[in-house]
Amino acid sequence: MSGAGKAREGTAGGAAAILLRYLQEQNRPHSAQDAFGNLQREHGLGKTAVVKALEQLAQQGKIKEKVYGKQKIYFPDQDHFGSASESELKVLDNEISDLSCKVQTLQQNCRLMESELKELKGSMTTPEMVKEIEELKKDCANYTEKLERIKSATNHVTPEEKEKVYNEKKLYCKEWRRRKRMATELLDAILEGYPKSKKQFFEEVGIETDEDFHVTLPAI
């Protein structure tokens, strides 16, 4: 046998030994793709080598092979593990029950810690809080100074004076609107018999409008 052939044989045998040990340790069904994906990184096995090694182990009776449609499933021969008595099975069942309770407790604790971690991530850190407090103190000092200036000013307007100004504004705007309406109606009547344009009439008479000075009548 050539050196290359011996190398291939050794590689195939090594792959079979790795797969047999892996399946016995896991003791659950695996497809060739599952075994390849789980062992490729650690052992550097190729997909073809894995498939051939599994088929070889199945032919030798070291593992079992089941076909489901187009997929083959491999699992260790259970005779390898021996048989267990009723008392041993009961002990295993109790261990499974205890472990299930522990898993459930750990999962609950994990969820609580994840919730706490999420809350902490959304909170400010101590340096951030110190910086925020300093900025708030500065804002508070500025507002306090501004308030003191307002309180010490001598030109305050009383509520009565403010109300008087608003009433006068309302009265003047109302009168402005009334007079503008009267002037518009009068001009429209004159323009009905005027032979020229409205713009020419305004220029000849010397009429200035609010629009000429970009003035808008305030709303009351």
Single pTM value for the model? 0.36
CATH class for the domain made up of 8-81: mainly alpha
Residues 207-220 have a mean pLDDT of 84
Give the Cα-Cα-Cα angle 94, 96, 98 (nearest 5 degrees): 70
pLDDT tens-digit profile of 113-122?
999 888 888 8
pLDDT tens-digit profile of 5-57?
333 434 556 888 999 999 888 888 889 999 999 888 888 888 899 999 999 99
User: In this predicted model, which residue has the larger pLDDT, 195 or 79?
Assistant: 195
Longest distance between any two alpha carbons in the chain, whole Å? 125
Name the E strands within the chain.
30-31, 63-68, 71-76
